[in-house]
Structure 1
């Protein structure tokens, strides 16, 4: 009889040990969050041209879902060109959008000069959009307007990518290398057309 009791006790002990050693359900770790959030809208001022470089580049980068870097990233390095034409006049894309000189920091999405070349230099692979750039610039952009334009009856708003008409919200355009982007506001009675393909300097 004692032998039978011993067997029962041993079985119960083994079962209890198995229950205690069974791993608890542990939730899988969350995927690492990208430090850059690709905005498909542009949040900016509804004002007329010219549009100057913002005085608060770090705050504008944050509004675009971007964080400032101590140095330009190298994991993703590409360039795009932006031309803006309002009633037949080319508007200047300012130098140093996305660059905070006092702090020595730079956004992964920025300009160095007034050529219209947009630099994408990121420490991670990610999508960067025209909407993010316009948010950094603090200029409103959507599928019907840029800043305060069209501002009069009959004006038309058009977007071209690589000289081809683009339909949809231009803020959602994802930059690719040597992409040509034209935003054109045309006077009443005129047809919109893109600029000639940008002549890229050799260093690009």
Structure 2
């Protein structure tokens, strides 16, 4: 389990790749999950799925969440997300739900966030019982909901298929509640022969 962030310590010390805005910045808490456990761990960054950290405050607000000065410690659990396009993994960026200042150092964090590119989604909330959704994570990421080409990060959700723990989920991609240790696969186009049904979370997660 990673150490709790505080504004004076880890958050303020973490330098993000804000200037490039072409991919994920360095992680604050690298996962020890084996690379073989998830197809997304070997993904190459896709430019249209890249994370624009500079826009994080607005996207976090759009998701209906607050920017905190430290991770919450009331509810704490994790889910895992794989994104596939024609069966090939798309990297889930590090630092979704994390804000940075002009000095490129992290200065705030949402209760819903990522630390690295393993696809592990962290829910660390100061409020008990709050339900977080995949739609909120996609909003914080800034993908899937625009008017770009289908199947791209700037495109709509049309054509995407959602699986949860190996089973197709038909109730709506944005409405999916994130639950502890769920393995979530968001797939566009040709799906792989086998849909990932679980993820080997590190001990303590």
1:180-199 paired onto structure 2 within 5 Å: 180-187=183-190, 193-199=194-200
Distance 1:138 1:107, change over 3 A: same
* Aligned-residue offset at 1:78: 0.9
Q: CA deviation at 1:150?
A: 8.1
Count of aligned positions: 150
CA distance in 2, matches of 1:65, 1:81: 21
Q: TM-score, normalised by structure 2?
A: 0.66
Q: Is the 8 A contact 1:50 1:92 kept in 2?
A: no
1:51 aligns with 49
Residue 30 of structure 1 is matched in structure 2 by none
**Is the 2:144–2:157 contact (alpha carbons within 8 Å) kept by the matching residues of 1?**
no
2:142 to 138, 141, 145: 138
Quick check: which has more Rg, 1 or 2?
1
49 and 93 in structure 1: CA distance in 2 versus 1, 3 angstrom threshold: same
Contact 1:96–1:111 (CA<8 Å) still a contact in 2? yes
Are the structure 2 counterparts of residues 49 and 83 from structure 1 closer, same or farther at C-alpha, using a change threshold of 3 Å?
farther
Q: How far off its partner does 1:178 sit?
A: 0.6
| CA distance in 1: counterparts of 2:164 and 2:181, whole angstroms | 11
Q: Following superposition, which runs of at least 4 residues in structure 1 exceed 6 angstroms of deviation?
A: none
Contact kept, 8 Å, 2:162 with 2:170, in 1: the verdict is yes
Q: Which runs of 5+ in 2 are unaligned?
A: 1-45
The separation in 2 between residues aligned to 1:83 and 1:100, in whole angstroms, is 23
Residues 52 and 78 (structure 1), Cα distance of their counterparts in 2 relative to 1, 3 Å cut = same
- Structure 1 position 105 matched with structure 2 position 102: no
Computed over aligned residues only, the root mean square deviation of the Cα atoms, in angstroms, reads 2.6
Q: How far off is 1:101 after superposition?
A: 3.1
Q: 1:169 to 1:150 in 2, by over 3 A?
A: closer
Could you say if the C-alpha distance between residues 141 and 168 of structure 1 is closer, same or farther in structure 2, counting changes exceeding 3 Å?
Answer: farther
- Partner-residue secondary structure (3-state), 2:79: strand
Shift of 1:75: 1.0
Q: How far does residue 128 in structure 1 lie from its aligned partner after superposition?
A: 0.6
Return the offset for 1:196: 4.5
Per-residue CA distance 1:48-102 (angstroms, 9 max, x = gap): 8641112211111001001100100011111000001101210000000111132
Shift of 1:120: 0.5
Q: Structure 1 regions of 5+ residues with no counterpart?
A: 1-47
Instruction: Indicate how the Cα distance of structure 1 residues 86 and 49 shifts in structure 2: closer, same or farther if over 3 A, else same.
Output: farther
Partner of 1:69: 68
Given the two structures, how large is their TM-score scaled by the length of structure 1? 0.66
Q: Work out whether 1:128 is the aligned partner of 2:128.
A: no
CA 1:140–1:157 in 2, change beyond 3 Å: closer, same or farther?
Answer: closer
